[in-house]
């Protein structure tokens, strides 16, 4: 199939990487990168860390300036929303009714913040954090604020809490679950991070949620929770997870199920359309059923994979070990694999010193490694998971000594 015209919808990291990889692999056709974000493609992770803290400016997190796209003949169209896909004619349509032809369409449309239930509208003092525009607004608002309430104790909420606490704000995190970072991490890891944050002045209300948002002159002044707690709040940030942007695909008749459905090669049922990154769910040997890892690594690796297929014409299974990282108040968390169906864990290292790893097993087979300030464990774990070697627990229920390398686990071939 000729791939003369590639249209990439979404100018996030995944979309950017597809365009760059196409060119670096020698693609000679037309590359159009179009999205509704008005900014030049940028790094997302720093938006809740260094950028939010004012430690770096926009230029530092912008991947490339305009001249790069011109030089590499990538037609970058910013601030334009694609509203429909006309599959029979292979065109996408923008909100101002312009039509763009494609031989292959890559959907890298990402995800958007999940609104708070019963409080779907953002008003003064109420914020989301997803885009650079959000982060710029928040950074300014954070300066002016004194009482910060963060709705959602997941990775994003906790990274934000760390920045706000470091600036001396009164910070409270409200989380519906009894554990931080929800189902994504083990109890041991959640507990370590909770202590780390509490030592830095962050308060937690777990098993609770927002009931009423108190306003004065249309600005937030406080929160009353379901459990009846009353909090002062002049800045409320909703970090309650993201939902994949599936509308475009769904309207075009593509299957969606926790994301745009793609196969193991990241193709939709339409041979001319691929989807990847935060918007796409795919089958993986690392998960039970389909997965949609919300990680930068996944987005970038999938982008390279799809670009490779478009240039070479060869289909191959996307088989990269999913991995993820978070940096909260200087405490580093790295996760290799996914914790679907974990039925047994082993903790290795020094939990008190917050330098340890948790190995998760499913039916006697290692499926995930969570590492706190332990990059060597993380790298070893990632390599082991990549080989597909079945690693079984050394002894059921026994924590191993600090510093025992993962290779010492009993490893069976195949």
- Residues lying near other proteins in the complex (CB under 8 A) are found at 43, 45-46, 49-50, 56, 60-64, 296-297, 300, 325, 327, 330, 332, 334, 375-376, 378-380, 382
Q: Is the dihedral of CA 68, 74, 77, 82 positive or negative?
A: negative
Q: How far is CA 412 from CA 64, 310, 393, in A?
A: 46, 37, 11
Residue among 176 and 297 whose Cβ is closer to other proteins: 297
Q: Smallest distance from the beta carbon of 49 to other proteins, in angstroms?
A: 8
Q: Smallest distance from the beta carbon of 43 to other proteins, in angstroms?
A: 6
Nearest to 266 by CA among 243, 312, 298, 288: 298
Residue among 87 and 325 whose Cβ is closer to other proteins: 325
Helix (H, G, I), strand (E, B) or coil at 350: strand
Nearest to 361 by CA among 340, 385, 338, 343: 343
Nearest to 193 by CA among 142, 237, 184, 379: 184
Residue among 60 and 183 whose Cβ is closer to other proteins: 60
Q: Smallest distance from the beta carbon of 265 to other proteins, in angstroms?
A: 23
Residue among 68 and 215 whose Cβ is closer to other proteins: 68
Q: Which residue has the tokens 């937690």?
A: 204
Longest C-alpha distance within the chain, in Å? 67
Q: Smallest distance from the beta carbon of 246 to other proteins, in angstroms?
A: 26
Dist CA 370 CA 48 (whole Å): 21
Q: Which residue has the tokens 């995190």?
A: 173
Report helix, strand and coil shares of the chain as percent, to nearest 5: 25, 35, 40
Residue among 179 and 298 whose Cβ is closer to other proteins: 298
Residue among 280 and 331 whose Cβ is closer to other proteins: 331
DSSP 134-169: HHHHHHHHHHH-SEEEEE--SHHHHHHHHHHHHTT-
Q: Smallest distance from the beta carbon of 177 to other proteins, in angstroms?
A: 25
Residue among 253 and 375 whose Cβ is closer to other proteins: 375
Dist CA 322 CA 286 (whole Å): 8
Q: Smallest distance from the beta carbon of 85 to other proteins, in angstroms?
A: 30
Q: What is the 3-class SS of 204-235, one letter each residue? A: EEECCCEEEEEEECCEEEEEEECCCCEEECCE
Q: Smallest distance from the beta carbon of 50 to other proteins, in angstroms?
A: 5
Residue among 267 and 378 whose Cβ is closer to other proteins: 378
Q: Smallest distance from the beta carbon of 76 to other proteins, in angstroms?
A: 16
């Amino acid at each position: 199939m000729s791939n003369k015209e590639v249209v990439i919808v979404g100018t996030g990291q995944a979309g950017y990487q597809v365009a760059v990889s196409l060119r670096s692999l020698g693609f000679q056709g037309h590359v159009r990168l179009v999205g509704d974000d008005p900014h030049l493609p940028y790094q997302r992770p720093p938006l809740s860390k260094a950028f939010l803290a004012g430690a770096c400016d926009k230029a530092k997190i912008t991947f490339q300036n305009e001249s790069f796209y011109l030089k590499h003949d990538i037609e970058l169209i910013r601030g334009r929303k694609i509203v429909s896909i006309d599959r029979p004619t292979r065109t996408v349509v923008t909100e101002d009714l312009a039509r763009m032809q494609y031989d292959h369409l890559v959907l890298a449309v990402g995800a958007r913040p999940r609104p708070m239930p019963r409080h779907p509208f953002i008003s003064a003092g109420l914020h989301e954090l997803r885009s650079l525009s959000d982060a710029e607004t928040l950074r300014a608002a954070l300066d002016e604020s004194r009482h910060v309430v963060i709705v959602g104790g997941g990775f994003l909420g906790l990274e934000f809490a760390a920045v706000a606490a470091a600036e001396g704000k009164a910070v409270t995190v409200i989380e519906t679950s009894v554990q931080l970072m929800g189902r994504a991490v083990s109890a041991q890891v959640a507990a370590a991070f909770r202590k780390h944050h509490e030592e830095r002045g962050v308060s937690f209300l777990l098993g609770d949620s927002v009931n009423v948002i108190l306003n004065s002159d249309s600005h937030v002044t406080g929160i009353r929770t379901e459990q009846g707690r009353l909090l002062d709040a002049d800045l409320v940030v909703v970090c309650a997870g993201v939902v994949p942007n599936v509308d475009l695909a769904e309207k075009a008749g593509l299957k969606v199920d926790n994301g745009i459905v793609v196969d193991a090669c990241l193709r939709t049922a339409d041979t001319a359309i691929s989807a990847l990154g935060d918007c796409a769910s795919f089958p993986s040997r690392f998960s039970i059923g389909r997965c949609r890892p919300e990680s930068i690594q996944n987005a970038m690796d999938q982008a390279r994979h799809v670009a490779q297929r478009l240039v070479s014409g060869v289909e191959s299974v996307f088989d990269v070990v999913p991995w993820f990282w978070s940096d909260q108040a200087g405490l580093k968390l790295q996760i290799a694999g996914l914790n679907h169906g974990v039925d047994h864990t082993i903790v290795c290292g020094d939990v008190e010193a917050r330098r340890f790893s948790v190995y998760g097993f499913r039916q006697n087979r290692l499926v995930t490694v969570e590492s706190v300030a332990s990059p060597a464990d993380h790298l070893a774990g990632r390599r082991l998971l990549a080989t597909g070697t079945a690693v079984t627990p050394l002894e059921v229920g026994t924590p191993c000594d600090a510093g025992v390398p993962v290779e010492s686990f009993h490893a069976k071939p195949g």
